[in-house]
Structure 1
Amino acid sequence: MTSTFLAATLFGPEDLRMVEHPLPKLTEGMVRIRFGAGGICGSDMHYFRHARTGDFVVKSPLVLGHEISGEVVEIAGSAASLKIGDRVAVNPSRWCGHCGACREGRQNLCENIYFMGSASKTPHMQGGFANYFDAVPAQCVKIPDHVSYQAAALAEPLAVCLHAVARAGNIEGKRGIIFGAGPIGLLTMLAARRAGMADITVADIAPAPLAFATRLGASHVENVSSGEEGLKAQAAARPYDVAFEVSGTAAGLASAIGIVRRGGVVVQIGNLPGGQIPTPSNAVMAKEIDLRGSFRFGLEFMTAVELIGAGSVDVLSLVTAERPLSTAPDALRLALDRSQSVKVVLTAN
């Protein structure tokens, strides 16, 4: 095996470099994975542009990437469930398994969690946009031969959306609206449809992603770049039971609270800018809205891999471009152009 590895390493805002790092000896109890594919997430784009996402600030060089898959090439110690050559989707979450949240079955809220490619803790946990990266066996879920690395990498964002839909409660037969037509918004739409939501509106300020939402089966789309009159008319005629805020903007959250019916549910998935954000709390109170956060995912990762393997959710329908890992900086710039891209996936060189 090579003595070095190449990784997309962030040093500051818009300073992402392909850097050759020494490949360390594999730690006991870990597995080494050769990169197969990686999806570029909205948080990767925020890190790239601002060296932060929400309240998570990059304080030292960070290898990006948490939507990842690949091939097991080395095992240090015992890994009964894995062998060399296994193709795996990699869960970027490393949970402790013994804190209060883990014992309650809410692993996504683990008090000791490390998350790949994230600045949520210091030292940062390095990500998987590298031709080799390491994980614990519990992070690795084997994929069937017919599932591509590209599809397996998108188990992570699908898991995010499955968790968000679960947070909304029973949505069968209900009417919903999604603010934000990026990959997470579109996958939330597919997950909500699978959970029985009868009518789904997708709202955004850009025409290209809205056209994509229509192709994927949105009941209605609304361009709110010039205002929300159309949405308000729809809501007056047929109120929305559930709103998913995926845009990651204060305006999107305010719109979700304002548009959902009295006694409705708002699920916040989007990571808003850091600091204090004004929220129309009186509307939450007066309308008795259930405002629910949705953070990452727990065991939904396994479900996501199963759904992709069964062909129940076509995650590849979102992919608009594939680029080699070695061109990650340019691929990030492409992903930021919403007129050209919905989902950009990095592939092995």
Structure 2
Amino acid sequence: MLSNTTATAVIAHAADDLRIESITVSAPAPDEAQIEIAYGGICGSDLHYWMHGAAGESILKAPMILGHEIVGVVRSAAADGSGPIAGTHVAVHPATPGGTGARYPKESPNLSPGCTYLGSAARYPHTEGAFASTVNLPARMLRAVPAGLSLRDAALAEPAAVAWHAVSRAGEVSGKRVMVIGAGPIGALSVAVLKRAGASEIIAVDMFDKPLEIAAASGATSTLKADDLEAIAAVEADVVIEASGNYRGLASAIRGARRGGRIVMVGLLPSGEQPALISLAITRELELVGSFRFNDEIDEVLLALADGSLDLAAIITHEFDVAHALEAFAVAKDSAQSGKVLLKFT
């Protein structure tokens, strides 16, 4: 039986207060495996907790370990016999669906009212994340990484599943003209998923050159600067993936969609009312569709990464040892110079 151990963790205490600390990791519960984390990808929500002490309406009320894009190796399997055996390389599905009250489609557990996510302050006590060298996780969260797929490459499985879900919300994209607004990590991942899905044209839009370079390397057939509104309006895309999380990006999506087109909103806008070109959406009969997290798409992503049909090689731009996490977060914040930034724990 495992005893308590120590680990190095990345903890947000408040706005602009990110610390690298030693923590005590207790012995795992019977349904938990103990994982040695290899890599963790810095997500936009991690950046918001660091910069603002909140991600949308999820406000830090106590120090919280960040991180939900993680991969590692099973140090000890769950005592109840569930999940993968010791030594298995695993990716992590960070959601715990549940809760009662609000109605939602049962085939969409990502929409369940009580769904929690690793590294989230949506509830109190907060749901601790997994940016730590050793963590205990429910065995049901673990997905075995296919043979031949490196843990570094598998580190993109969770955010790629977000993009995969967004593209699935677009419907059939094979042979279609698709525009992606915002070429940050989720936008670039969407480009790669769209390429695999057979989109004939993929137009990436961003404010900066570096994200557009990454998008082009990931499968975009052309790129546009975000301030070129005339060119964006001339695209007349069948489908638009809005991944900027900015109301101006949504306006560009509406302008750039063809009449009767569909806009998938995966970029999370700030809470509260936001300006939008609703009259144009109405008169063009546009479909505005939300996309939130994912369900089991991470399994499809891992298989596609393993068989080479999904190429994400250009999206990881930086890697830092966990001891340099503060520098890593600063680089990840600067979208003009970085794509996906990884923390290395082992």
Please name the residue that 2:25 is paired with.
Answer: 23
- Provide the residue aligned with 2:297 in structure 1: 300
1:93 shift after superposition? 1.1
Cross-structure match for 2:146: 144
Pick one of 244, 254, 257 that aligns with 2:251: 254
Correspondent of 2:318 among 321, 325, 332: 321
Residue of 34, 56, 60 corresponding to 2:36? 34
Whether the aligned pair in 1 keeps the contact of 2:4 and 2:24 (CA below 8 Å) is no
**In the aligned structure 2, how far is the partner of 1:82 from the partner of 1:240?**
44
* TM-score normalised by length of structure 1: 0.93
CA contact (8 A) 1:97 1:107 kept: no
2:211 to 209, 213, 234: 209
Encode CA deviations 1:124-163: one digit per residue, 9 max, x unaligned: 1111110111211111011134222111121001100110
TM-aligned CA deviation for residue 230 of structure 1: 2.1
Deviation at 1:241, TM superposition (A): 0.9
> Residues 23 and 80 of structure 1: is their aligned pair in 2 closer, same or farther, counting only changes over 3 Å?
closer
The amino acid that maps onto 1:231 is I
Aligned mate of 1:310, from 303, 307, 312: 307
State the partner residue of 1:67.
69
Q: How does 1:74-223 map to 2 (within 5 A)?
A: 74-96=76-98, 104-223=106-225
The alignment's C-alpha RMSD in Å is 2.0
Say if 1:8 and 1:328, in contact at 8 Å, map to a contact too: yes
Distance in 2 separating the partners of 1:208 and 1:301: 27
1:54-87 deviation digits (Å, cap 9, x = unpaired): 2322222111111100111123431344211111
Decide whether the 8 Å contact of 2:38 with 2:71 is kept in 1. yes
Q: Matches of 2:39 and 2:244 in 1, distance apart?
A: 25
Q: Partner residue of 1:331?
A: 328
Shift of 1:323: 0.7
TM-superposition CA deviations, 1:147-203 (whole Å, max 9, x none): 221111210011001100000111121111111011110110111121121111111
Task: Provide the rounded CA distance (Å) in 1 between the counterparts of 2:86 and 2:153.
Answer: 21
Summarize deviations over 1:243-278 as a string: whole Å, max 9, x none: 111011011111111221111101000111222212
Residue 98 of structure 1, CA deviation: 9.3
1:272 aligns with 2:269: yes
Deviations 1:184-224 (A, max 9, x none): 10110111121121111111111121122223331110012
Aligned-residue offset at 1:100: 8.7
1:283 aligns with 2:280: yes
Alpha-carbon distance in structure 2 between the residues aligned to 1:98 and 1:308: 35
The alignment partner of 2:274 has SS state of: coil
- Give the structure 1 partner of residue 45 of structure 2: 43
Distance 1:83 1:119, change over 3 A: same
* AA at the equivalent of 2:278: S
Whole-angstrom distance in 2 between the partners of 1:2 and 1:135:
15
**Cα 1:346/1:119, change in 2 over 3 Å:** same
Q: 1:101 to 1:32 in 2, by over 3 A?
A: farther
Q: Percent identity?
A: 36
Aligned partner of 2:337 among 340, 343, 346 = 340
Q: Distance in 2 between matches of 1:212 and 1:24?
A: 41
Q: 1:320 to 1:9 in 2, by over 3 A?
A: same
Measure, in 1, the Cα distance between the counterparts of 2:63 and 2:211. Answer: 32
Displacement of 1:46 in angstroms is: 2.0
Give the letter aligned to residue 37 of structure 1: Y
Partner of 1:273: helix, strand, or coil?
coil
Runs of 4+ in 1 over 3 A off after TM superposition: 96-103
Number of equivalenced pairs: 344
Equivalence for 2:232:
231
Give the Cα separation in 2 of the matches to 1:219 and 1:210. 11
> CA 1:27–1:101 in structure 2 vs 1: closer, same or farther (change >3 Å)?
farther
Note the C-alpha offset of 1:51. Answer: 1.8
1:179–1:252 CA contact under 8 A, matched in 2? yes
Shift of 1:89: 0.6
- Report if the CA contact (8 A) 2:118-2:127 is conserved: yes
Looking at structure 2, the residues matched to 305 and 90 of structure 1 have their Cα atoms a distance apart, in angstroms, of: 11
Q: Deviations over 1:63-121 (max 9, x none)?
A: 11111001111234313442111110111112249999787221211232220011222
